[in-house]
Structure 1
Amino acid sequence: MNEYILRTEEITKTYKNYAAVNKVNLTVKKGDIYGFIGQNGAGKSTMLRLVTGLGFPDSGTLEIFGENADKGLNAAQKRIGAIIENPALFLNMTAEQNLEVHRLQKGIPGKQCIADTLKLVELENTGNKKVKNFSLGMKQRLGLATALLGDPEFLILDEPTNGLDPIGIVELRGLIQKLNREKGLTVLISSHILSELYQLATTYGIIHEGRLIEELTLRELDNKCRQHLKIKVNDTEKGVTILEEQLNTTDFEVSPDGSISLYNHLNEVRKVSSALTSGGLIIEHLSQNGDSLESYFSKLVGGDSHE
């Protein structure tokens, strides 16, 4: 079984002289909740439109469920449920009538899927109430229901919490987590708010001015943002031994460049320094590091995170 639901290689989409998506290499693994982060206008929606077949790249390779040829790719895209920008809802119809229209458009046999999907998004008791009288949160859940019709294996959501109040955001987050946990649904969800996706995603891709500037797991993001003492000594192996034996800690990580990130003893810099120097080491660097999620994002894109 293919480990990857989605892979792109050097995907580029240009409008006039502007590259909205510029040589993006993005990977979404089966079972991920992939948080796609970027400022407004960074290229998130354009990229999602390319993945769902609502647009076509100028160059590069798009692979979905292991398919990259035109015929296979078209079939693979039918296994995707998506809301790009605003969900297409008929305001003078009921929730059930809306889903019936979408069922017919998708060619899904049988009407049982409508009742099942309305129950899944907790709209089964809306009866004859027209969508124009729904709250924004209910409309978002109905939009999600249209994407879930046909039991897709891959769900793509573009800024789904825009305009929602805090309760609506919590409800939508819980529903996405439930779908991922109970149905094994892989989810790609975009937002310009890192702190919002931090409570949901397992993997992150950060896009800026059309370029994917970093992909990382939740653990990697936590480690980059977590407060720590960054230590560089002339003998890393000996430094690690001193931390374990003299300071009685294993709460640290060694980076490829040999620097050590120590996640405790943050208020005992002198004690750490003394233990290392007493062990005969030369301290080349010792500082306290760590960012908030917002400041980390801001540093990456070189400015305000627009939260």
Structure 2
Amino acid sequence: MTYVLKTNSLSKTIGDKKIVTDVNIHIERGKIYGFLGPNGAGKTTVMKMITNLWKPTSGNIEIFGEILTPTSYGILKRIGSIIEFPVFYEHLTGAENLHLHCEYMGYYSPDSVKNALKMLELIDAADTSVNKYSLGMKQRLGIARAILTKPELIILDEPTNGLDPSGMKSIRDLLKMLCQEYGITIMISSHILSEVESIADTIGILNHGKLIKEISMQDISDMNLSYIELTVDNTSKASYIFADKMEIKNFKVIGDNTIRVYENRISPQEISKILSMNDVSIESLGRKSESLEDFFLKLTEEEK
């Protein structure tokens, strides 16, 4: 298997605080990798180390089969990125900022700036000063700059910040097109799990600076993570019946009156019958499929 990007026991400590500890990421060529984690989990720190903005305290990073060093200029020329918020020369126009980027990257291709602006729906604002751009327009210009030089690997830290639902869909469609038609490898972090779920081939879940899970979306789908969700008037009594009388071990109480049962051997009809026989009132009952959000929350809570 060919990995465009690998990290090996990647760690970062600032002062006496461990920000990231022993992170091992594996990103396949031509795939989209969703990097997930709560705020403060360390996602941006990892991305800063991958793009050589920060140096690891220990461990290393392999990109295109080479170990990243402070002088890996050839590797970095093959990468496009947005880390945190994109920064521009505000007094210059959007097009001028992109032309300047091409110059210092040593990239010269006719119509590249025009094509990038068109892809990000900024062609009408090409000659407008960036200080007149909205937050969403600056975010799109940042993505235009990241893809401008046709990189082999794109690193995007929360790229849909400031975008409305229509803009988010446009970015999602663009990233899928870049991956499928041009074979570009993409690493994208986001706190919007539904966005990642719809485009990622593989996800890595970071929590408290540690990678707690790396799994393909196909493997999540193959798990058939369905469950029975029911709303009852007494979760304590229902929980006792599940554990003592039905010998159900894999269930979870959510909130004041909701329970999820993760054992496929039990049918909703059987649950309804036994709870009714034991005077537990059921308000709703049905089988559901676990989303990426459910999977993510379960993992982070278990790790906690």
The TM-score range, normalised by the shorter chain, is: 0.7 to 0.9
Counterpart in 1 of 2:142? 143
For residues 198 and 298 of structure 1, what CA distance do their matches in structure 2 show? 14
**Displacement, 1:136?**
3.2
Q: Aligned runs of 1:1-307 on 2, under 5 Å?
A: 3-68=2-67, 70=69, 73-110=72-109, 112-224=111-223, 226-227=225-226, 267=268, 291-302=290-301
Structure 2 gap segments, 5+ residues each: 229-262, 272-286
Q: How far apart in 2 are the matches of 1:97 and 1:221?
A: 44
Report the CA distance between 1:221 and its aligned residue.
2.1
Can you list the C-alpha shifts for 1:111-162, whole angstroms capped at 9, x where unaligned?
Answer: 5322232233232333432233334333222111111122100000001112
Q: 1:1-42: CA deviations, max 9, x gaps?
A: x71100111011101111111000100000111000001110
Report how many residues are paired. 255
3-state SS of 1:11 partner: strand
Please say which of residues 128-137 and 19-28 is displaced more in the overlay: 128-137
Q: Percent identity?
A: 40
State how far apart, in whole Å, the 1-side matches of 2:4 and 2:104 are: 25
TM-aligned CA distance change 1:95 to 1:303, over 3 Å: farther
Cα 1:266–1:185 change in 2 (3 A) is: farther
Q: Which runs of 5+ in 1 are unaligned?
A: 230-260, 271-287
Task: Give the conservation status (yes or no) of the 8 Å contact 1:298–1:304.
Answer: no
How big is each residue's C-alpha offset from its partner over 1:93-118, in whole Å with a ceiling of 9 and x where there is no partner? 22211112212222223553222322
Amino acid at match of 1:99: L
Cα distance, 1:304 vs. partner? 12
Runs of 4+ that moved beyond 4 A: 265-270
Contact persistence 2:3–2:26 (CA under 8 A): yes
**Cα gap change, 1:303/1:120 in structure 2, threshold over 3 Å: closer, same or farther?**
same
Residues in 2 aligned to 1:140 and 1:303: alpha-carbon distance in whole angstroms: 35
RMSD (Å) for aligned C-alpha atoms: 2.8
Confirm or deny: 8 A CA contact 2:86 2:139 kept in the other structure.
yes
Contact 1:225 1:292 in 2 (8 A): no
Aligned to 1:282: none
State TM-score, norm by structure 2.
Answer: 0.75
Check whether the contact 2:139–2:162 (CA below 8 A) recurs between aligned residues: no
SS of 2:13's equivalent in the other structure is strand
* CA–CA distance in structure 2, aligned partners of residues 228 and 41 of structure 1: 30
What secondary structure is seen at the aligned counterpart in 2 of 1:196? helix
Query: Any idea what SS the aligned residue of 1:199 has?
Result: helix
